A = this chain, B = another copy of it.
Amino acid sequence: MADVKTKSRYHHGDLRQQLITATRALVEEKGPDGFSVSEACRAAGVSTAAPYKHFQDRTEILQAVALEGYGEMTAGFRHALVGQTPGTVEAIAAVGTAYVTYAIENPEVFRMMFAFKDKSEAMEVSGMACYGVVLEQIALWSGKTEIDEEVLKLGFPLWTFVHGLSFLTIDGKATPDKAMVSTEDLVLDATRRLLVAPEAS
């Protein structure tokens, strides 16, 4: 615990986090398939067997990266709300835009966050925490003090829209020839349209 620099490095001390970081970089570089545990080991300077003291298998490493992703996304949401008037359509749209922005800046991690067949407990929790930020704004907007069923009902189409926009954008479908406006404008317009009370058909 005394001198980190000169102490023997047999015990790495921070391998778990370092593997996550290396994996994150590799995944973002070549996609979740292109990633190999071996390569992450090389980056971290350990043997290829070392990771299995910290993770059960390859998938668990990727899940850890995805989990970090949810944390970052939640932080991005909160950041987007700074300076917004709580409970306004603009505030809600700002979170939506932050969603798409996160996807654009971290496309492969974003993709991974949703691609796991069976996600861990921790991931479910982080995911809901993330979703909760926008649900909170929607509750405020509709004059509720808590997130009830109606708030969920209002939120779901919005989530759907920004989720779709994220994927289409990172998959290169949202090109100019397919009717592009800026992400902000698209999200703000869609938020307005999807939030207002449904008319009787």
Contacts and interface: CB of A to CB of B under 8 A. Distances in A.
Q: What is the interface of chain A mostly: helix, strand, loop, or mixed?
A: helix
Interface residues of A, number: 41
A144 interface: no
Nearest to A194: B193
Given A31-B117, A111-B115, A192-B201, A163 B167 contact: yes
A14 interface: no
Interface stretch (A1-9, A16-24, A65-73, A147-155): A147-155
Contacts of A179: 149, 152-156
A183 to B, nearest CB: 11
Interface in A144-171: 149, 152-157, 159-168, 171
Contact of A164 (B159, B180, B201): B159
A114 interface: yes
A76 interface: no
A95 to B, nearest CB: 15
A41 to B, nearest CB: 20
B168 A152 contact: no
A167 B163 CA distance: 8
A178 interface: yes
A83 interface: no
A154 to B, nearest CB: 8
Interface string A78-115: 00000000000000000000000000000000010011
A57 interface: no
A115 B31 CA distance: 10
Contacts of A193: 193-194, 196, 198
Q: Which 10 A-B pairs have the closest CB atoms?
A: A164-B164, A153-B179, A163-B164, A152-B179, A160-B164, A156-B179, A193-B193, A160-B165, A114-B171, A161-B161
25 contacts: A33-B33, A114-B167, A114-B173, A115-B171, A149-B179, A152-B177, A153-B179, A155-B179, A156-B178, A156-B180, A160-B165, A160-B168, A160-B190, A161-B161, A162-B164, A163-B164, A164-B164, A164-B166, A164-B167, A167-B167, A189-B198, A192-B201, A193-B193, A193-B196, A194-B194
